[in-house]
Structure 1
Amino acid sequence: MINKSVNFGLLGLLAALSLNHSVQAQQHQHSPSTPASETNTMPQQQGDQHFLNMMVHHDQKTIKMADLALQKANNPQIKALATQIKTDQTKEIEQLQALYKQLYGTEVPANAMNCMGMGQGQGMGKMMSLESLQNSPNFDQEFLRTMIQHQQMSVNMAKKASETATVPQIRDFAQAIIKTQTAQIQKLQQLSPSES
């Protein structure tokens, strides 16, 4: 008697689970008709927006690092490259902000670093690296090392965006970033002691 009731209980549970599963499966099958375009593009639009946000804030950090190099670097070639990087990144930020406003109708949020999913930990890590760069006993070498890593992050972000962005202007912009910042990395590596 007990065994039968346990069996019925299990059968009922299995039936409920299979029914629930079939409803979910039907929902997944129906979604490609109309809502799929929404469900697929909404996260992607957020991805596009996220990329522009992150790139603006990333470039702002780059400019801060370049400013430090202009103050503290001993090598005149590093200072010249920091000036060029600052000019490039300032222009890039203006273009990113203009594109963001054109696409989304608002300014780039000031707190995007924390609220757009990059995480406070990584944001703090970047601030700490800026502080450790400032206090580095061998500023020139540390600047080259840090800036190479920093610009490589930009290139990686841009590569991903160039493959996944739904907006053609963002794809084009990402490809331009890859070109500009890869060239910057090569110049930084040429000045880096480990590369010579």
Structure 2
Amino acid sequence: MPPLLFAFAVGLGQGLLHAVGPDHCAAMATLGMLGGGRRRAALVTALRFALGHAAMLGGVAGACLLAGVGLSETFERWAEIFGGGVLIALAVAALLFPSSVGHGHPHLPGHDREPHSHSHASGHVSTAAGALMAVSGVRSLLLALPPLLVGGSLSTAGWTYLPGFALGILLGMGAVGLLFAEGYSRMNQRLGAWLHRAVALGSGALGLFWIGSRLRL
């Protein structure tokens, strides 16, 4: 297999694995269920989250690589604590102010009856959440990049790993988003409301666990 294709394939596989991490699934479920189980809404949310995630990971990792800058374990530890905080913030917003997560702003009484579009605001929330949660994975990506494995030489083949990794994230997160939407769409309204609360509480609990485990290190 040509080196260019091999690096792309490795990046694709690792991107798929990265996309189905527990923290990503929790965030995607919390955001995706606000679409009411609609497949298109869930897919758009997942893809926007993935785009923000991939852009942040690739941008920061590429900049560090070009500048010859490494990231320490201390940075990774505090970045993971930050990621846990993002999960908790999403969970709290989804429980107390669901319209602010789904539409980008809270609703006033009677506001739901007014026809207007929320697609841009909702997209911004999903993209921002994906970008913020990517900070914790930058160091791992830097360590996995093929150019670093050959002493830091910037080979052309090594750089194809990044687009492969980004595509893997897009495919993996899109599949997760569709899976949650499919299950959610098969539930009645009451059960769906309880599931929404359970998912948000689970995301918050995972965020607390994430933070606690990193603080003990």
TM value normalised by structure 1:
0.38
Higher RCO (C-alpha under 8 Å, 6+ residues apart): 2
TM value normalised by structure 2:
0.35
- Radius of gyration: which is bigger? 1
